[in-house]
Chain A
Amino acid sequence: MKIRDACAPERPPVTCPSCGSGIEDSPACCYCGSATLPDRRVSEVRLALCSVPAFLAAAVLLALAAGSQTRVTRIADLTPDGAFDHFRVAGTVTAVKLFPSRYPASGQYTVWVSDGTDPGEDGRGLKVKIEGEVFSEIQGAGRLPEAGDEIDVEGTLHVGEGFKTLSVNTAPMVRTVKKRGEVR
C-alpha cells in the first residue's frame, strides 16, 4: 500500500491510453499490458498523416494516366514475341470485308491496314478484326472505317505461323484520323 502525503497536491487519476482502466503512474498498464508512455505510442493524428503518401501517389498516377498514350508500333515490328499483348498501329485502310450475321451483335468486320512497313501475307497489310458488340457499336455510331481511310487502331495481337491479326476489344480503340479524300 502506498502512503500519500495528505498535504501533497491531488494528482489527476491516470488512465491507460489503450483500455481506459484507472492505473497508477506506470510505464505499462496492469490490466491490458500495453505501454503507457507517450514515446511508445503513435497518436491518431500522426497515423492520419501517414496517409498523405497515398494521396500523392494517386495524384502522380492519375497525372500519368492523363498523359499516357499507347505507343504506335510499326506493323513490321509486330512479332510473335508480342503475341496477346496490346498494340497500337496507324496506317491506311487498304481493304475491308463485312461478314453479316443473322444474329444481332455478332457480325464481323475486317479491315486491312498498311503503314508501308510490312505488306502482310496477301500484300494488303495487317488484318484488323472488329467483331460482335464492338462492331455493332461502331456501326451504330457510323464510324466503320472504309478503304482509303487513315486510321489509328489498338487491340490484342494474335500472331503465329503465317498469320498476324489485331483484334479490337472496345469501340473507342478504333479512331479514324482522316476519311478517304478528306483534305486537312
Chain B
Amino acid sequence: MDFSMILQCTWVAVAGMALAAVASLIPGLHIYNVIALTMVIVFTVEEVFAGVDPMVLTCFLVGLVVGFSMLFTISSQFFQPCDDSARYIMLPHEKFLFDRRGHEAVLLASVGSLVAILFIGIIIPIIGPHMGFVREILRPHLYWIIGAVIVFLLMTEWPKDPGTGPTVATRMFDGWGSILMGYLCFLLSSALGIFTFYRTTIPVDAAFQSLMPVFVGLFAIPSQLVTILAAVAYPKQHVARSVELYGEDVIRGSASGLLAGMFASMTPSMTPGPAMLLSGHATVTGGDRQFIIGGGAGRVMYYVGALLFFFMPGVFLRRGGAAINISLVFIPETEAQYYVITGLIALTGGLSFLLMFGYSRMVLWIASKVNYKLISAAGMAVMIGLVYHVTSWQGLVIMTAATFLGLIPNYWHTRRITLLSVLLVPMFLNMSGLGSDVARWLGFM
C-alpha cells in the first residue's frame, strides 16, 4: 500500500478518535448511533465523498470506534451516579464513585482497555491465521450456544428482596415479583426483537438502522430518565495520581474481559454484558478491581475485536454494528488493508489511553460545574433527535414502546440483561430454523 495512503488513513483515524472523544461526553450515546449518523451524512452528501477512497472513510470509522470504546464510559462514570432507590445492584465502578474514587475507577478500566488494545495489536496478528479455523468449528454450533446463553440468563435471575414482608403471601409476592417481571421483560423484548426482524415499520432507506430506536429505547433513554429522576449527590471526587493495582488483578481481570470480548465478537447477537457474566463465572474473577479491569478489556475486545475480524483475511466476519455499517461502503480484501487497520487500532488505542488521563479530569471538572441531570437531559434530547433524524417518526414510535419496556427493570429491580433477548431470541430462532414460524405465529408475517 502507498505510504501516502497510509499517512492519509492515519490522519483520518486520529480525527475519528478526536470526534469520538467529543461524542463520548454525551452519556448513554452509543458508538453505533454516531456511526449511523456518519453514514447518513455520507449517503446524504454522496457527491462530496465520491472522490474519497472507501478505505479512508473506513479508517475514520475505525478511529471513531476505538476512541469511543476507550472513552465513552468516563462520562457515564461521572454523569450517571447510581440511585439505589431505582437500582438493586450498585456496580463496583459506582461504588468507587461514592468512595470519592471515580478517577481511580477510570484508570482501572483503562488498564483493561489497554490490555485489550495490546492483545489486538500484538497477539491477534500472530494468531489471526487460525481464527478462520475457529470460526469454521464454531459456525454449526452457534445456535445452541446462543440458546444455552439464554437459558443461563433466565436461570441466574434471583429474588431481590430481603424477605421481610409481614405475611407469607407478601414475601412470596416480593420474592417472585422481580423474577417474574424479569421473565416478562424477556418475553416482551423477544417479541419486540422478532417484530424488528420481520415487520419493522422503519422506512426502507433507514432499514440498516432498524435496531437503533430499539436499543436507544431499551437502554439509553431509561438510564437517562433514571438519572434525571435520581435524588443522589455523590461526594467531591479525589483525583488519584496512583492506583492500587496488582499483577493478579490485571491478569485475571483482563483474561476474563478478553474471553468475554472474544466470545461476544465471534457469536452473533452477543454483547459484552452477558458475555462478561458468563466469563466472570467461568474464570472465577473476584474483587472490584478485577471486575472493572475486565469490563474495560471486554468492551474494547468486543467493539474493536469484532471490527478487526471483519478485515482479517480468511475470516471476514461481519459482526456488530460498526462492521455492518462499514460493509455498506467498503469490502476488505488484502493483507495490507488488514495491517493498516490493526496498526491504526493500536495507534488510536494508545493515544486514547494517554488522552484518558486528561479526559477524566475534564469530565470531572464539567461534572463539578454542571448538574449531571442537565447533562443527562441534554444527552436524551440529542439521542431522541438522532433517532428522529435517522429513522423518522416511525423510529420514535418504536423507541417509545421500547422505553416503556426498558423502564420495567428500574421499577421492579430486575436485571436489565434480560432486555437483550431483543437480539438473542430472534437470532436463536432464526439460526435454528424456527424464526419465520414463530414470527408467523405472532402475526408478524
Q: Which residues in B have their C-beta under 8 angstroms from that of A2?
A: none
- Please name all residues of chain B whose beta carbon is closer than 8 Å to the beta carbon of A48 when the two chains form the complex: 353-354, 357
Range class of the A interface residue count: 35 or more
| Residues of A contacting B: mostly | mixed
A65 is an interface residue with CB less than 8 A from chain B: yes
A32 touches B334 (CB 8 A): no
Bound Cα distance from A30 to B117, whole angstroms: 35
- In B84-134, the 8 Å CB interface with A consists of 99-101, 104, 107, 110-111, 114, 117-118, 121-122, 125
Fill in one digit per residue for B316-350: 1 if any A CB lies within 8 Å of its CB, else 0.
Answer: 00000000000000010111110110111011011
Q: How far is the CA of A70 from the CA of B1 in the complex (A)?
A: 10
Most chain B C-beta atoms within 10 Å of own C-beta, residue among A18, A41, A52:
A18
Binding stretch for chain A, among B219-227, B237-245, B269-277, B431-439: B237-245
Q: Which of A35, A57, A62 sits near B340, CB closer than 8 Å? A: A62
- Contact status of A47 and B243, CB under 8 A, knowing A54-B349, A86-B313: yes
| Residues on the B chain within 8 Å of A183, using CB | none
Task: Flag whether A101 is at the interface (Cβ < 8 A).
Answer: no
State the CA gap A86–B101 with chains docked (Å): 50
Q: How many B residues face the partner with a CB closer than 8 A?
A: 46
A41-B243 contact, Cβ under 8 Å, with A62-B10, A66-B6:
yes
Instruction: Determine the chain A residues whose CB is within 8 A of the CB of B344 once the complex forms.
Output: 58, 62
For residues 144 through 178 of chain A, which have their beta carbon under 8 Å from a beta carbon of chain B?
154-156, 169-170, 173
Check if B244 sits within 8 Å of A65, measured CB to CB.
no
Q: Which residues does chain B contribute within 8 Å of A44, judged by CB atoms? A: 107, 241-243, 357
Q: Is B246 an interface residue (CB 8 A)?
A: yes
Q: What residues on B are CB-neighbors of A58 within 8 Å?
A: 121, 343-344, 346-347, 350
Q: What are the residues of chain B within 8 A of A47 when measuring CB–CB?
A: 107, 110-111, 243
Is A24 positioned at the interface, with any CB of B under 8 Å from its CB? Answer: no
Determine if A69 and B336 form an interchain contact, defined as CB atoms under 8 angstroms apart. yes
> Is A108 part of the contact surface with B, judged by Cβ < 8 Å?
no
Q: Does A106 make an interface contact (CB < 8 A)?
A: no
Interface status of A19 (Cβ within 8 A of chain B): yes
